[in-house]
Chain A
Amino acid sequence: MSKASSKRHRPTELAKQSAPTGERVAALTGAYSFLGREVLKRLDVDHRFARVLAIDVRKPNLPFQKTQFHKIDLTVPTADGDLAALFAREGVTDVLHAAFLSAPTHNLAWAHELEVIGTLHLLNAIGEAKVDQLVALSATAVYGAHPHNPNFISEGQELRNHPSSQYLRDKVEVERQLHRFSKENPGTAVTILRMAAILGPTIDSFVTRFFSRPVCPLLMGYDPLLQFVHEGDAIDACLIALLGRHPGVFNIVAEGVLPYTTVLALLGRVPVPMPSFLAYRLSRALWMTQVFDSPPNFLDFLRFLCVADGTKARRELGFRPRYDIQATLRDFLRLPPAQVRETAMAVGRG
């Protein structure tokens, strides 16, 4: 039934006249996620792609024209075989891997299955079907908030093991798998996009929920610099990576940093100061009782720096964020986008 909605090869008036309908075929895991959905919409209208495969366990309900939905659960043991067959049959050239948790969950076993084993299955399929390129989403949180972090973490920094966070440990393991895969399969260009915390008017994640509450915890005496990226820029980054061919790891961040208390002040949230040891205990209790959706070790991000250096993405990927941190916060509050720099995407300087 799901395939019925897709109309293959139907030329649209929207497809640009200059280029012929492309022969590339994109596949997207995690198609129901925010980024998955938004990237899917854009691939659906892009002329380079003959068809687009949307893979998820839930179908995004949108009027697609050349997108076919395939319900494949990445955690199922046979998923790799199914995916490989599908990729080979459809001649998939580009894969965007977005089937990741956007928030930590209490179901640690399932989280591990989805993130690590799901990626393993996908990589098996990609290796089997000889896909041209893979773009995988990650987060700058994989660096971890640590007292020894430099002010700007570059992509080359070794990832830490996060003994206290299963969520981050899984993400790091996924990245290690991707690195190993790219070494063993030089034919496939693997791009990893490490996104800063995504904020925006429509995205719903545990970060946006955190900053939507009227009060926010403040660890007494600590006020680290925070960094965000606007949802629109995050989508752009996915597309730029997918449409071009840029193997490597890239930090996707907005320009500028702000202290946590300034972010709260700009958003009009009331900080509730509390000593660190109390905050960690309270947070653990609230996490255990499932009142809050951020685990206690996430308080580290309100205590120490975790700011990534976006120079490489700007230089090599050509990623020019339209929203700096102030504009991102402003748009998060649904204020008119006074400071959006529309020209930011223009490159042309050597």
Chain B
Amino acid sequence: MASKILGDDPFAAPPPPSDTESRPPELDPPAKKAAPKRIRKRTPPSVSVPARNYGPSIDTSRRPDRLAEIDQLCREVRELDGRVQERFGALSARREFTPLDLLARLYRPLAMRERSQTVDEFGRDPEVAARVDRLIDFLYRRYFRVSTEGVGHIPAEGRALIVANHSGTLPYDGAMVMHAVRNEHDAHREVRPLVEDFVFHFPYLGTLMNRIGGVRACPENAIRLLDQDQLVAVFPEGLKGIGKLFAQRYQLQRFGRGGFIKLALETDAPIIPTAIVGAEEIHPLLTKITWLSKTFGIPYLPITPTFPWLGPLGLLPLPSKWFVLFGEPLYFNAEYGAEAANDRILVNRLAEQVRQRIQEMIDHQLARRRSVLFG
């Protein structure tokens, strides 16, 4: 009855079509989840053998009869509910319904506009993402006029790790990579970019990044995503890359501590080296003021030819012509095996190898490019 009165009660509304895609994977049949290679606990003494198991506490040999035992127990617990009802009556006093609740029910449909009822397990809201996508699409097609190359190197299904250079003061490059793969790739795959803490916890920006698919960069999250066979984008330069001075443009910074290599080795994900050309000019960073950073809670205050002189207008990026180049996948796991993740020297060497590969791709494209604005 109540749902009749409140016609657009978001609870009563049928789930949106995009719902299935956004639902956390656990809601899918557990049988899928039960494949013994999904989520691994990440213990500090990293696994020396690629034991794709849930940890030492599960005795797989005993599992079949344990399952039956658990099943039986659950059924019995369920039965107890009925007997409790018989003996003690229904659950004790429910809270009372107040006029305020009615007001709340009327307000709810209003509040639920522009957001969906379900987000996926990492916080991507399909409705918010669709809304932001219009802006990103404008930036992609009209503003930065992105050209892509080698998008076919991304596998149509299965896990992969896109490793790209990072720049631009604000993380436009992540959004463009997402949009490029979503639109240009035959399988229209969704990319989950890993977002560094500084952006992820930046008020509003971080929340927005999270709603459109960004995930906080940490090994646990990355492993979980890759184990779900998702496409993950990482920017190993991190904060050093995003805050590159104009004079240092297209000079790749140190690639973190090689975490992405460990990730690729452990999860058997191919690395797709990706070069983004054009992004490093959008906010020509002349200098960084760090002594004000405490006051504003940001690592530095960027000084560009337009910011902060023109105020908010100075935040407008330069409409440079962008190229996103996806390189051939690198299969490190097949070559070195998962246990190589513990070999720090090798990990560093491989990270450097990937860095050089991307640097070459960038240099090659820079040599071909005639104009920053027109490509």
Contacts and interface: CB of A to CB of B under 8 A. Distances in A.
> Secondary structure of the B side of the interface?
helix
A150 B211 contact: no
A265 interface: yes
A347 B80 contact: no
B309 interface: no
Interface stretch (B112-120, B137-145, B179-187, B321-329): B112-120
B207 A151 contact: no
A330 B206 CA distance: 28
A257 B24 contact: yes
Contact of B78 (A314, A335, A338, A345): A345
A257 B122 CA distance: 8
B58 interface: yes
B91 A202 contact: yes
A48 B91 CA distance: 23
Contacts of B27: 255-256, 324
Contacts of A310: 26
A258 B80 CA distance: 31
A147 interface: yes
Contact of B94 (A38, A147, A201): A201
A138 interface: no
Given A147-B197, A152-B220, A265-B115, A255 B104 contact: no
Contact of A151 (B73, B74, B197, B220): B220
A172 B95 CA distance: 31
A179 interface: no
A183 to B, nearest CB: 15
B111 A265 contact: yes
Interface residues of A, number: 76
Contacts of B80: 42, 45-46, 239
A287 interface: no
B10 interface: yes
B125 interface: yes
A225 B123 contact: yes
A222 B11 contact: no
A44 B26 contact: no
B114 to A, nearest CB: 10
B34 A350 contact: yes
A213 to B, nearest CB: 9
Contact of B122 (A46, A151, A258, A338): A151
Given A259-B125, A266-B11, A151 B216 contact: yes
Contacts of B76: 46, 243
Interface in A66-110: none
Interface string A191-210: 00000000001101000100
Given A45-B87, A257-B123, A315-B54, A202 B221 contact: no
Contacts of B312: none
Interface string A249-269: 000000111110110111111
Contacts of A257: 24, 119, 121, 123
Contacts of A309: 39
A330 B10 CA distance: 11
B63 A350 contact: yes
Contact of B104 (A214, A239, A248, A330): A214
Interface string B61-91: 0011001111101111110110110111001
Q: How large is the interface on B (under 10, 10 to 19, 20 to 34, 35 or more residues)?
A: 35 or more
A42 B84 contact: yes
B30 A221 contact: no
A152 B70 contact: no
Nearest to A309: B39
Interface in B192-209: 197, 201-204, 206-207
A254 B55 CA distance: 22
Contacts of A38: 91
A270 interface: yes
B11 A151 contact: no
A255 B86 CA distance: 30
Contacts of B104: 214, 267-269, 333
A3 interface: no
Contacts of B39: 152, 154, 309, 311
Contacts of A318: 67, 70-71, 73-74
Contacts of B74: 236, 240, 318, 320, 345-347
Contact of B92 (A46, A202, A239, A326): A202
A240 B10 CA distance: 34
A221 B83 contact: no
A163 interface: no
A317 interface: yes
A268 B111 contact: yes
Contacts of B63: 350
Given A222-B203, A236-B77, 18 more contacts: A42-B80, A46-B76, A150-B216, A150-B224, A152-B220, A201-B91, A221-B202, A221-B204, A223-B207, A240-B74, A256-B121, A257-B121, A257-B123, A259-B125, A264-B111, A270-B111, A311-B54, A348-B68
5 contacts: A151-B121, A201-B91, A243-B77, A265-B10, A318-B67
8 smallest beta-carbon distances between A and B, as pairs: A221-B203, A268-B104, A318-B70, A150-B220, A265-B111, A268-B108, A347-B71, A45-B83
Interface of A: 14, 37-38, 41-42, 44-46, 62-63, 65, 147-148, 150-152, 154, 156, 201-202, 204, 208, 212, 214, 220-223, 225, 232, 236, 239-240, 243-244, 248, 255-259, 261-262, 264-270, 304-305, 309-312, 314-318, 320, 324, 326, 330, 333-336, 338, 345-350
